[in-house]
Amino acid sequence: MTRGKQRREEIKTRRAALTARRAELEEAARWKQLEARGVLVNAAALAPNNSYGAPQFVYRGYYVDIPFRCEDCGKDEVWTATQQKWWYEVAKGFVYSTATRCRNCRRKEQARRTEARRRHLEGVSRKTRGGT
């Protein structure tokens, strides 16, 4: 038979364990709700920036699909949550940047830049050789 003081200690520890378990379950339910809304943010994987604040998605805790209009062709597109996660966390893109071009226009722009860079380097090499 236990004394009253021992019994109270047992009750306190059991209540503390129940409270901790309840908090864990609530946290798990909260994360499950966030996952249902979009793709979760891993703030530690974001590229560092010198801003006092953080972008909206960091505070929200998840990425959501963002609609936008391509600035070149005017086509309506959607920047998906998984694409955002890749851009911000894997490619280490600037956290305040957003998509502005559709995939086709982005490829055309990349090809244009590559060609311009190639032409420029060709001209520089001709100039340094003293050629025509």
Q: Which residues contact 99 (CB under 8 A, 6 or more apart)?
A: 66, 68, 77, 79, 83
**Strand ranges in the chain using DSSP code E only, listed in sequence order:** 39-40, 62-63, 66-69, 76-79
The residue whose two tokens read 């047992």 is 10
Q: Give residue-wise pLDDT tens across range 48-103.
A: 777 777 777 777 788 888 899 999 999 999 999 899 999 988 999 888 889 999 99
Domain range for 88: 38-129
pLDDT at 68: 93
pLDDT of residue 35: 58
Q: Are residue 55 and residue 100 in the same domain, yes or no?
A: yes
Q: What are phi and psi of 68, to 5 degrees?
A: -150, 165
d(CA 66, CA 20): 37
Looking at the structure, do residues 63 and 108 belong to the same domain, yes or no? yes
Q: Are residues 28 and 65 in the same domain?
A: no
pLDDT single digits (tens) 9-58: 998 999 998 888 888 887 777 666 655 667 888 888 887 777 777 777 77
Number of domains in the chain: 2
Identify whether the C-beta of residue 71 lies closer than 8 Å to the C-beta of residue 112: no
pTM of the model: 0.61
